[in-house]
């Protein structure tokens, strides 16, 4: 009787031992996951003796990972001869994807079509749109006008980064003659191109007549239709020391030298009646300050012709068309020409094309304009 009871007890206890399996659950990290924040390895203990290793080194439960890298976690629980092993790999990476970039950059203006090639970063996925519609890289965009390219980069760690690029497609063409004329005209005395790149105040000083003011405002209005920024008429001598301005002095020719005019006022039978000069020029911003002198001791008509002639110089066209009496940049006019002819307007247009940029030399300007050449 005793023997049986012992045997039963023995069987019963063996059964108990056999039914208890080593168990645990891993929390805080998951297989194949990437973490941007510090993950904490948390093992929820079931039965058995735990042994935790991270990249082959024993660690304690509750270990926090604070360094970027790839990790292999091995958790083992044992009860007597039984064990349970689980092996997972994960990564800690708190670096966001790089700002999405385009191969060779994004130009401000394209002719006929724009095509973008993405610089791919490893393990990063991208989404791109043009004007809000999905864009597939390396496919051409042909619609004329302004466009916005937005790119978002995503990483498995949940971090992302964005980039926004604006560009336009402009299919304006020029004849070879127009382009040659602009380049020959602009670079006759200059080696690098300079122009205004921002809004300008045209500040009038001295003694302009009412008609002078009217003409100045009229020229400003017409230039504003041709230039990619705004000129604003101002009559306030106190603000003459700031940037982005053309200071316009209506004064006697005798006083020209006190405003920086060097040279002879009288040259043979000709007398100087106006003067323009860039006073501050930078490689980043282009011209930021210019001065214009208009003689007050000449006829009203001559003054008005001088206003437009000198303001045309001031916006960056400092050369003359010596052989074209119909041009506003004809230097020997006595008030016969009161506005720009087609050629003058073309010179302003070409100088202020967006892709023609400050600091460009003759060769660079030719190269950027050449694709727009049409035979005529
Ligand atoms: Zn001139």
Same domain, yes or no: 265 and 331: yes
Same domain, yes or no: 255 and 120: no
Residue 240 confidence (pLDDT): 58
Residue 266 confidence (pLDDT): 79
Same domain, yes or no: 314 and 369: yes
Taking a C-beta distance cutoff of 8 angstroms, is the pair 45, 60 a contact? no
Instruction: Using the mean position of ligand 1's atoms as its centre, give its distance from the Cα of residue 50 in Å.
Output: 91
Same domain, yes or no: 72 and 107: no
Instruction: Using the mean position of ligand 1's atoms as its centre, give its distance from the Cα of residue 329 in Å.
Output: 6
Within a domain: 132: yes
| pTM of the shown model | 0.77
The sign one gets for the Cα dihedral 233, 238, 241, 243 is: negative
Residue 267 pLDDT exceeds 80? no
CATH of the domain at 308: 3.40.390.10
Same domain, yes or no: 113 and 79: no
Taking a C-beta distance cutoff of 8 angstroms, is the pair 139, 107 a contact? no
DSSP-derived secondary structure for 252-282 = -GGGGGGGT--S-SEETTEE--EEEEEEEEE
Instruction: Using the mean position of ligand 1's atoms as its centre, give its distance from the Cα of residue 11 in Å.
Output: 116
- Alpha carbons 346 and 315: distance in angstroms, whole number: 14
Within a domain: 328: yes
Within a domain: 282: yes
Residue 7 confidence (pLDDT): 57
Instruction: Using the mean position of ligand 1's atoms as its centre, give its distance from the Cα of residue 33 in Å.
Output: 71
Examine the fold and report which residue of 169, 185, 209 is the final residue of a domain before the chain moves on: 169
Same domain, yes or no: 252 and 292: yes
Within a domain: 230: yes
Instruction: Using the mean position of ligand 1's atoms as its centre, give its distance from the Cα of residue 320 in Å.
Output: 6
Same domain, yes or no: 228 and 276: yes
Please give the tally of structural domains in the chain.
Answer: 3
Strand partners, 165: 149
Same domain, yes or no: 161 and 64: no
Instruction: Using the mean position of ligand 1's atoms as its centre, give its distance from the Cα of residue 274 in Å.
Output: 7
- Looking up tokens 């990437």 gives 34
CATH of the domain at 138: 2.60.40
Same domain, yes or no: 283 and 248: yes
Within a domain: 14: no
- Alpha carbons 149 and 129: distance in angstroms, whole number: 6
CATH of the domain at 42: 2.60.40.10
Within a domain: 24: yes
Q: Which domain covers residue 266, as residue numbers?
A: 174-374
Residue 242 confidence (pLDDT): 76
Instruction: Using the mean position of ligand 1's atoms as its centre, give its distance from the Cα of residue 13 in Å.
Output: 113
Within a domain: 7: no
187-236 tens-digit pLDDT: 999 999 999 999 999 999 999 999 999 999 999 999 999 999 999 999 87
Instruction: Using the mean position of ligand 1's atoms as its centre, give its distance from the Cα of residue 374 in Å.
Output: 31
Instruction: Using the mean position of ligand 1's atoms as its centre, give its distance from the Cα of residue 276 in Å.
Output: 7
CA distances from 239 to 74, 198, 205, 232, 281 (A): 74, 17, 11, 13, 19
Examine the fold and report which residue of 67, 92, 117 is the final residue of a domain before the chain moves on: 92
Same domain, yes or no: 142 and 208: no
Same domain, yes or no: 320 and 299: yes
Same domain, yes or no: 80 and 140: no
Instruction: Using the mean position of ligand 1's atoms as its centre, give its distance from the Cα of residue 336 in Å.
Output: 14
- Looking up tokens 């790089």 gives 98
Within a domain: 1: no
Residue 340 pLDDT exceeds 70? yes
43-56 tens-digit pLDDT: 998 888 999 999 99
Instruction: Using the mean position of ligand 1's atoms as its centre, give its distance from the Cα of residue 210 in Å.
Output: 23
Examine the fold and report which residue of 92, 116, 145 is the final residue of a domain before the chain moves on: 92
């Amino acid at each position: 009787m005793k023997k049986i009871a012992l045997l039963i007890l023995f069987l019963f206890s063996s059964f108990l031992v056999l039914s208890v399996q080593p168990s645990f659950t891993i929390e805080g990290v998951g297989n194949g996951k990437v973490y941007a924040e510090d993950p904490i390895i948390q093992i929820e203990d079931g039965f058995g003796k735990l042994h935790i290793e991270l990249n082959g080194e024993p660690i304690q439960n509750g270990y926090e990972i604070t360094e970027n890298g790839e990790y292999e976690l091995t958790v083992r629980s044992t009860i007597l001869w039984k064990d349970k092993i689980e092996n997972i790999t994960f990564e800690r990476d708190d670096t966001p994807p790089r700002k999405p970039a385009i191969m060779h950059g994004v130009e401000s203006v394209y002719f006929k079509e724009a095509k973008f090639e993405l610089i791919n970063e490893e393990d990063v996925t991208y989404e791109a749109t043009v004007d809000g519609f999905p864009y597939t890289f390396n496919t051409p965009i042909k619609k004329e006008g302004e466009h916005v390219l937005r790119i978002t980069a995503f990483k498995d760690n949940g971090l992302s980064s964005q980039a926004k690029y604006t560009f336009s497609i402009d299919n304006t063409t020029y004849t070879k003659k127009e382009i040659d004329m602009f380049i020959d005209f602009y670079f006759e005395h200059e080696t690098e191109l300079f122009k205004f790149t921002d809004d300008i105040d045209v500040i009038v000083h001295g003694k302009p007549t009412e008609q002078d003011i009217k003409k100045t405002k009229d020229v400003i209005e017409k230039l504003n239709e041709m230039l990619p920024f705004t000129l604003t008429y101002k009559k306030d001598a106190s603000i003459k020391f700031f940037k982005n301005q053309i200071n316009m002095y209506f004064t006697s020719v005798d006083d020209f030298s006190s405003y920086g005019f060097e040279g002879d006022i009288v040259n043979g039978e000709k007398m100087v009646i106006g003067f323009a000069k860039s006073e501050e020029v930078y490689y980043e911003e282009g011209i930021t300050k210019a001065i214009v002198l208009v003689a007050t001791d000449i006829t009203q008509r001559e003054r008005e012709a001088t206003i437009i002639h000198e303001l045309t110089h001031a916006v960056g066209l400092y050369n003359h068309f010596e052989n074209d009496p119909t041009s506003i940049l004809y230097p020997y006019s006595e008030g016969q020409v009161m506005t720009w002819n087609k050629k003058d307007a073309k010179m302003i247009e070409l100088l202020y094309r967006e892709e023609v940029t400050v600091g460009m030399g003759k060769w660079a300007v030719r190269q950027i304009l050449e694709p727009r050449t049409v035979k005529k």
